[in-house]
Structure 1
Amino acid sequence: MDRGIALLPLGRRFEAVRLPERLVLAALCTTDPQQIAVLLGRALNGPVIHDNRAMGGTYYALTWPRAGRAWAHNAIAPCLGTGTYLGVPRLDRREPPGTHWTVPPTFAGDLCEPCTVAALIAYAVRVSREAEQ
């Protein structure tokens, strides 16, 4: 059955940072899907996929390959690269059910900057820690 998903190899053209839903919700302070799409689009300035069927909801920010540079957030938001495949939805899949674009790419080669994704993660961690105190 065609689900509108292509399995693409990561590492050469792009990588994907796996963002747990709880991390994204902490950073954006909302659970509204429309607000999440707008805020993630503004914060990351690049494409983001949402898979609400796996791991309690997961976002994937598509980024430029880091060419071997270290990724400081592997424990909470790993950067997936060479040797990993990602299910990428058709461009017209923009809402559930299943894997869909929260922020679709706007042009060929549209990707998030890794430093921008890292900043969102750092902010989410800080907000989560403050909420626990």
Structure 2
Amino acid sequence: MNRPCMESTMTSRAEQWTPPNGPDPVALQAGEWWDAVRVPDTIGERALAFLGGHSGAVIQDTYSTLYWLVTPSAAASWNLRGVHVLTATEGVATYLGVPPTHRLTRPGTYWRVPFTQDWYLTDPWRLYKALVHSTLTESDAAGEGSR
């Protein structure tokens, strides 16, 4: 897939990161190489569609929750309903189960959008716009269902 160039959101240190090599996902700490943006499947599916080819790698866990990887601290101030940012905070370590690059399907945690060394961080501004759109769309759908 031909991907557009990343804007200046990827640091040289982040470019060096690679997922684990073993057969199973490994719990890795957020905040050093990347932060993870955790989104429930209903919002996440809309965000994936909105982003199209502009999404970096995405992890999907056994509960269908989606996780985008972004530059550390890039999403720390986000306050969107249903969206949670996994990052380093003072005195608290936050972990994400990261699958090896070969896990591309279920069962278990896998890469919903495959990891590639040159394109795994999602541009935080694009992701934020996609999530705002997706949370508003979900709110509209919920409102219509209650009428």
Normalising by structure 2, report the TM-score: 0.69
> Number of residue pairs matched?
118
Mapped to 2, the partners of 1:112 and 1:65 lie a distance apart of: 11
The one-letter code of the counterpart of 1:76 is G
Hey, what's the Cα distance between the residues in 2 that align with 1:67 and 1:127?
A: 24
Tell me, what secondary structure is at the counterpart of 2:133? Answer: helix
Structure 1: gaps (5+ residues): 29-35
Following TM superposition, the consecutive aligned residue runs of length 4 or more in structure 1 with deviations greater than 4 angstroms are none
Per-residue CA shift, 1:57-103, capped at 9, x if unaligned?
A: 20000111126851222x41111011101110010000000000001
What fraction of aligned residue pairs are identical, expressed as a percent? 29
Partner of 2:36: 16
Query: Which TM-score applies when normalising by structure 1?
Result: 0.76
Match of 1:102 in 2: 112
Structure 1 residue 109, shift from structure 2 partner: 6.7
Q: Check if 1:77 corresponds to 2:83.
A: yes
2:9 alignment partner in structure 1: none
Query: Whose RCO is larger (CA < 8 A, sep 6+)?
Result: 1
Closer/same/farther in 2, CA of residues 68 and 24 from structure 1, 3 Å limit: closer
Q: Any gaps of 5 or more consecutive residues in structure 2?
A: 1-21
Cα RMSD (Å): 2.4
Q: Which has the larger radius of gyration?
A: 2
- 2:25 counterpart letter in structure 1: I
Determine which structure has the larger strand proportion and give its number.
1
Match of 1:66 among 50, 61, 73: 73
Q: 5 Å matches for 1:46-61?
A: 46-51=56-61, 53-54=62-63, 57-61=64-68
Distance verdict in 2 for CA 1:92–1:9, change over 3 Å: same
Structure 1 residues 109 and 66: CA distance shift in structure 2, 3 A: farther
